[in-house]
Chain A
Amino acid sequence: MAIQELELKPAVPASPLSGFWNVFRKNRLAIAGLGMLVVIVVAAVFADFIAPYDPRSYAGIGAGDIYQPPSAQHWFGTDDAGKDVFSGFIYGARNSLIVGFFAAFISIFIGGTFGIVAGFYGGRIENFLMRFTDTMLVIPDLPLIVIFVALTEPSLWNIILVIGLLGWTTTARVVRSQTLAVKSRKFVLRARAIGAGNWHIIVHHVLPLVMPILVVNAILVISLAILSESTLAFLGLSDPLAISWGQMLNFAFGRGAMSVGAWWALVAPGFGIVWVVLALTLLGNGLEQVLNPRLEAHHLMPGQPTVQKEAGEVPSRSAFVKTPVVLEVQNLSVEYVNEGMPPARAVQNVSFQLHEGEMMGLVGESGCGKTTLIMALNRLLPSAGQIVGGKVLFNGVDMATASDEELADIRWSGISIIFQGAMNALNPVRTVGDQIAEAIRKHLPIESEAALEARVTELLELVGISAEHKDHYPHQYSGGMRQRAMIAMALSCSPQVVIADEPTTALDVMIQAQILELLDELRRRLGLAVIFVTHDLGVVAEMCDTVLVMYGGVTAEYADVDTIYNQPRHPYTQELLKAFPDLSNPEKRLSSIPGYPPKLDSLPPGCRFAPRCPLAFDRCKTELPRLHELGNGHVVSCHLVETSSA
């Protein structure tokens, strides 16, 4: 789960093409590759003007010219026949590129057609084409190319044809899987629904989305074709009339360059091959990164150290629950720092107290900072996330500044998380029982393997999964069972605080009800403090004791559940409730909140809700409201509260 991606959508380009160039030119490796390619293409095209000598002519060459080292007349020295290596080098580029481009064109055409036809039409056609492709892929192609060329005549066009006809397999596979992916997307179904035929869909919907991958693949195929050609030429299978780098190496290697120490005759042509192939590789690699961008950020990268650069407001104290406090969050602020971008203030000055046995609902639209908030509690923020102010106190330890050892201890045994089990939160290649046992092994003393097994079984039965499923893999579970297993795992080390991150999203209503009932029962039985993250106000009303409503990274309103639903003071809370369907009053027309939540890297100067607020006035647009305490722990950040109470 890339939290950052969820909450910080990157700035969008005006059109796919201009956006492409903007990203591409920032990729230094790709630009280098493009430059290298341009140089060699220019050399090949203008070979007649650049090369100082005609490599086909022996005019003016004497016996004394053989294997001469580099000099002013011969920059790269001379070869076994006394000819200028530099001129051969320039002309060799021409043939290498011709073979590369034409052979790749044949391969791409065949592979692309096979891939699209197989992926789009499916069924028997696909079966036949892909079986054929797999077979051709397994058969080693260099020996086959060698045989073809050896049995026919090694002319330039024969070589192009053979390399092209045997080099399409990877293209076919790549294009097929991309076509399958595109075909399964809903816009293809939509095109069918408007009456579009196959040809229209292939041309307007499949091709534009397959094309980028085809281009990247084409670059790879060109470089492979150039390598194949040079290998063939080195093995002596080349058009005797067409000078190529491989052929130059064949002559030099076979005619004593090594024994006379004529390194230049061996290095120069090879350098040409490396230059072209490296140029293509850098370009292809860069294009792939641009077309298929990854954050290249992962969960094991070191996080940002906590700093205290923000002054806090008055911490809020909830008085609505009477049990002892287990987790206290004071003025917590989190930012995402990305190079070249303004910091995104994902969470700002959020405070709350969580008591033993309390269930707190954390509510807000997507992109309001709730995921960042809960990940900050356990310091599980992505590497760009930084705590820039506040404290997270758990059992006297400030999680914001705790050492790695303290964190490792408190994670799971003190504060555990129920991730969305329907998603990818369980490792697909390890059994569910094994993954539960792992947590116990890490945090609790174990007497024996048998005791551990018994504990895992007990936990699974606690959440309603029978013991025989212990050794099954996650993919063998249904969505509801995965969520139950996730709960069992979260409870495995008897934590005091459990964070449930949208645990019922993407589940069917009845399964959702089952999971909620289970969670409610377990927290009562075990006295757990739970933070329940959701956007479903109905679930919060039914389950929670307290509610924290977040908007644009700040606390909008924080109170006990009855106050939130029956005396909400923040316009956002009020509007959210109006937008939520209520079956007890089905004839009412639903209202929606116009506009969209602010982006966290470009927040409005005043109140974050002001642009959408029906009650906003001038002050709201310039001044961020502070948190007002209305008694009994009810906290609201709205200027209206001040005016009405004053």
Chain B
Amino acid sequence: MNRYRYLLKKTGWALLTILFVLVLNFFLFRILPGDPARALTRDPRMKAEAREILRVRFGLDKPVINCFETLTPLKLGDCRVNPFETQFFIYIKNLLQGELGISYKTNRPVADILAERLWNTVLLIGAGQILSIVVGVAFGVFAAWKARTAIDYGALITGLVAWSLPTFWLGIILLFWGSTHGFPIGGKATPGSSTYPLLYQIGDVANHMILPTLTYIIVYMGEYMLVMRSSLLDVLAEDYILTAKAKGLSAFQILKDHAIKNAMLPIVTLIAINLGFTVAGAVQIEAVFSWPGLGGAIFEAVESRDYPLLQGTFLLIAVSVILANLIADLTYSYLDPRVQTE
């Protein structure tokens, strides 16, 4: 299989997965007891005319989908209705237009709320992910190189302990410590700082980011370190490393030119697999540090039973993770020549 076909196949698969998520996201909220459609009609925060507008926009008076009037309780309906006149297709159509509903709590379009928050989460996960990979991989390389020494043993135990820490608890402890050492206790910026010069604002955000990012790094670094260590140990025991040594290359040259790239392959796979889990970390960190991101949005949406926000956030997170996963797959194919010709 050449690279072009590989790329095509992976992209096609990502699109199918997104489709699956769309379907899941729609039916989940209609099968489980907390059906937002019914919740909507009962939500006292909503004005009557707003309710009517939403009813039309989301087709709430129409059947869920052909043959089914409602799903909870299950009520069969006419199968010969125009499929485009059902809630499901109206939902898809709305989605394609970027329409995600109105938040119950704030009465603002969900799409607007998410647009603000997406970048905050990308900033936090991006910084945390990059730093934890760099730190984890570096320690992993060092531990594997110095295998069976005190350094290696210490690194192994540190990694196992870090892996075992619950993210939110580590956040709480750091926050507790930070609050007595002059760190900001939450949020993304000091209130009112938007009037200050840009440089000051950047510094302020960075200051707010230190503790959340540190939490992120400690929790995820452990796993990257352990995987890099064991992956590099395997690679360094390979025959081609002996070949390189027999060629007279130095230990540094062997690590740089023969070992690290090969050992990184499982890391790339791990990053791809982990993306789903990193979201879990972000939810916890954002909840602890009141960071205004997508994870925080889930936390708030659950607390206030704000279903449109919950639904929208889940969709956005899922789609982002699928796309990031696709990028990781494509990177892998670039790093490992064997993929293209399999």
Decide if B255 touches A300 in the complex (CB within 8 Å): yes
Which one of B166, B233, B234 contacts A227 once the chains associate, using CB atoms below 8 Å?
B166
Size bracket, chain B contacts: 35 or more
Tell me the smallest distance from the CB of B119 to a CB of chain A, in Å.
18
Residues of B within 8 A of A230 (CB): 166, 168-169
Q: What string of 1s and 0s marks CB contacts (under 8 Å) between B268-292 and chain A?
A: 0000010111011001100110000
Interface residues in A442-494 by Cβ distance below 8 A to B read 442-443, 473, 475-476, 489
Q: Is B51 an interface residue (CB 8 A)?
A: no
Inter-chain contact B246/A147, CB cutoff 8 Å = no
> Which stretch from B62-70, B98-106, B197-205, B235-243 is at the chain A interface?
B235-243
Interface core residue of B34, B244, B255, B288 (most chain A CB under 10 Å): B244
Cβ contact within 8 Å between B321 and A438: no
- Alpha-carbon separation in the docked complex, A413 to B17 (Å): 54
Contact partner of A429 among B34, B262, B322, CB < 8 A?
B262
Q: Is the CB of A143 within 8 A of B236?
A: no
A301 touches B160 (CB 8 A): no
Check A86 for interface membership: any CB of B closer than 8 A.
no
Chain B nearest CB, measured from A26 CB (Å): 14
Identify whether the interface residues of B are mostly helix, strand, loop, or mixed.
helix
CB-CB under 8 A from B144, the residues of chain A are: 298
Q: Are B279 and A234 in contact (CB under 8 A)?
A: no
User: Is the pair A143, B237 in contact by a Cβ cutoff of 8 Å?
Assistant: no
Contact check, B17 vs A138: say whether CB atoms are below 8 A apart: yes
Binds A, one of B108-116, B130-138, B312-320: B312-320
Report the minimal beta-carbon distance from B331 to chain A, rounded to whole angstroms.
Answer: 14
The answer to whether B165 has its CB under 8 Å from any CB of chain A is yes
Cβ B148 vs Cβ A249 within 8 A? no
- Using A231-B168, A298-B147 as known contacts, say yes or no to A270 and B173 having CB atoms under 8 A apart: yes
How many Å lie between the Cα of A191 and that of B234 in the bound state? 32
Interface positions, chain A 226-256, Cβ under 8 Å from B, are: 227-228, 230-231, 234-237, 249, 253
**Contact: A412 with B283, CB < 8 Å?**
no
Q: Which stretch from B80-88, B207-215, B302-310 is at the chain A interface?
A: B302-310
| Max chain A Cβ within 10 angstroms of own Cβ: one of B29, B166, B179, B247 | B247
Contact residue among B234, B276, B288, B313 (Cβ-Cβ distance under 8 Å from A141): B276
Among listed B41-49, B187-195, B332-340, interface-contacting one: B332-340
B247 contacts A270, C-beta separation under 8 Å: no
Q: Once the chains bind, are B148 and A297 in contact (CB under 8 Å)? A: yes
Known: A147-B28, A151-B33, A274-B164. A139 touches B321 (CB 8 A): yes
Measured between C-beta atoms, what is the minimum distance from A111 to chain B in Å? 14
- Tell me, yes or no, whether B248 is within 8 Å of chain A by CB: yes
CB distance from B175 to the nearest CB of A (A): 7
User: Taking the complex as formed, is B249 at the interface, i.e. its CB lies under 8 A from any CB of chain A?
Assistant: yes
From A2, A230, A417, A428, name the one whose CB has the most chain B CB atoms within 10 angstroms.
A428
Q: Which residues of A contact B148 (CB under 8 A)?
A: 296-297, 301
User: Cβ of B147 and Cβ of A301 under 8 Å apart?
Assistant: yes
**B-binding segment of A211-219, A278-286, A594-602:** A278-286
A400 to chain B, nearest CB (A): 17
With both chains docked as a complex, state the minimum distance between the C-beta of B257 and any C-beta of chain A, in angstroms.
Answer: 7
With A266-B176, A281-B164, A424-B240 as given contacts, are A140 and B33 in contact (CB-CB < 8 Å)? no
Contacts of A489 in B (CB 8 A): 243
B57 is an interface residue with CB less than 8 A from chain A: no
Q: How far is the CA of A417 from the CA of B299 in the complex (A)?
A: 62
Q: Say whether B169 contacts A411, CB under 8 Å.
A: no
Q: How far is the CB of B124 from chain A (nearest CB, A)?
A: 15
Digitize A132-155: 1 where CB-to-B-CB distance is under 8 Å, 0 elsewhere: 001101111111101110111100
Chain A: number of interface residues, binned into ranges: 35 or more
Q: Which one, B157, B179, B241, B247, contacts A298 given CB within 8 A?
A: B241
Asked if B20 contacts A135 (CB within 8 A), the reply is yes
In the complex, which residues of chain B have a beta carbon less than 8 angstroms from the beta carbon of A423?
A: 239
Q: Per-position contact with B for A251-271: 1 when CB-CB < 8 Å, else 0?
A: 001000010000100110110
Return chain B residues, CB-CB under 8 Å to A270: 166, 169, 172-173
Q: Which residue of A lies closest to B301 (CB)?
A: A150
CA distance A301 to B146 in the complex (A): 7
Tell whether, in the assembled complex, residue B276 and residue A138 are in contact, meaning their CB atoms are under 8 Å apart: yes
How far apart sit A457 and B279, CA to CA, in the bound complex (Å)? 51
Instruction: Determine if A548 is an interface residue (Cβ-Cβ < 8 Å).
Output: no
From B255, which residue of chain A is reached at the shortest CB distance?
A300
B280 in contact with A231 (CB, 8 Å) = yes
A407 with B34: CB separation less than 8 A: no
- A150, A269, A294, A443: the one contacting B248 at CB < 8 Å is A443
B157, A29: Cβ atoms under 8 Å? yes
Q: How far is the CB of A563 from chain B (nearest CB, A)?
A: 32
Pair A253/B254 contact, Cβ less than 8 Å: no
Q: Within the assembled complex, what's the spacing in Å between the Cα atoms of A266 and B179?
A: 14
Contact for A143 among B244, B250, B259, B283, CB less than 8 A: B283
B161 to chain A minimum Cβ distance, whole angstroms, is 6
The distance in angstroms between the C-alpha atoms of A408 and B246, with both chains bound, is: 8
Given contacts A150-B34, A299-B241, A299-B245, contact A277 B147 (CB under 8 A): no
Q: Which of B176, B246, B273, B314 has a CB less than 8 Å from the CB of A380?
A: B246
Does any Cβ of A come within 8 Å of B251's Cβ?
A: yes
Residues in chain A near residue B258, CB distance under 8 A: 427, 430
Which residue in chain B gives the minimum CB-CB distance to A237?
B302
**How many whole Å from B96's CB to the nearest CB in chain A?**
21
A266 to B176, CA, bound (A): 9
Question: In the complex, what residues of B have CB within 8 A of residue A249's CB?
Answer: 168-169, 172
- In the bound complex, do residue A298 and residue B249 qualify as a contact, i.e. CB atoms below 8 Å apart? no
Assess whether B247 is in contact with A2, with CB atoms less than 8 Å apart: no
| B32 lies within 8 A of chain A by Cβ | yes
Name which residue of chain B comes closest to A299, CB basis: B241
* Interface pair A476/B310, CB less than 8 Å apart: no
Cβ contacts under 8 Å, A476 to chain B: 341
B21 on the A face (CB < 8 A):
yes
- CB of A412 within 8 A of CB of B248, answer yes
Q: Kindly list chain B residues whose C-beta atoms are within 8 Å of the C-beta of A285.
A: 160
Docked complex Cα distance between A378 and B243 (Å): 12
Determine which residue in A142, A296, A475 has the highest number of CB atoms from chain B within 10 A of its CB, and name it.
Answer: A142
Q: How far is the CA of A424 from the CA of B33 in the complex (A)?
A: 57
Q: Which residues of A contact B147 (CB under 8 A)?
A: 296-298, 301
Is the C-beta of A426 less than 8 angstroms from some C-beta in chain B?
A: yes
Q: What residues of chain B lie closer than 8 Å to A48, measured between beta carbons? A: none
Residues in B neighbouring A420, C-beta threshold 8 A: 239
Residues of A377-431 contacting chain B, CB below 8 A: 378, 380, 407-413, 416-417, 419-420, 423-430
Whether A429 touches B337, Cβ cut-off 8 Å, given contacts A150-B305, A258-B175, A300-B145, is yes
Report if A295 contacts B (CB, 8 A): yes
Closest to B146 in A: A301
B75 within 8 A of A: no
Residues in chain A near residue B164, CB distance under 8 A: 223, 274, 277-278, 281
CB<8 Å pairs between A and B, sample of 11: A137-B273, A139-B276, A142-B279, A146-B298, A151-B29, A258-B175, A263-B176, A270-B173, A419-B239, A419-B246, A430-B257
Residues of A at the B interface (CB closer than 8 Å) are: 1-2, 29, 131, 134-135, 137-144, 146-148, 150-153, 223, 227-228, 230-231, 234-237, 249, 253, 258, 263, 266-267, 269-270, 273-274, 277-278, 281-282, 285, 294-301, 378, 380, 407-413, 416-417, 419-420, 423-430, 438-439, 442-443, 473, 475-476, 489
Cβ-closest 7 pairs across A and B? A298-B236, A142-B280, A270-B169, A151-B32, A411-B248, A151-B34, A140-B279
Other than the known A135-B16, A147-B310, A300-B254, what 7 A-B pairs have Cβ atoms closer than 8 Å?
A: A1-B242, A152-B33, A231-B167, A236-B303, A281-B164, A412-B247, A429-B261
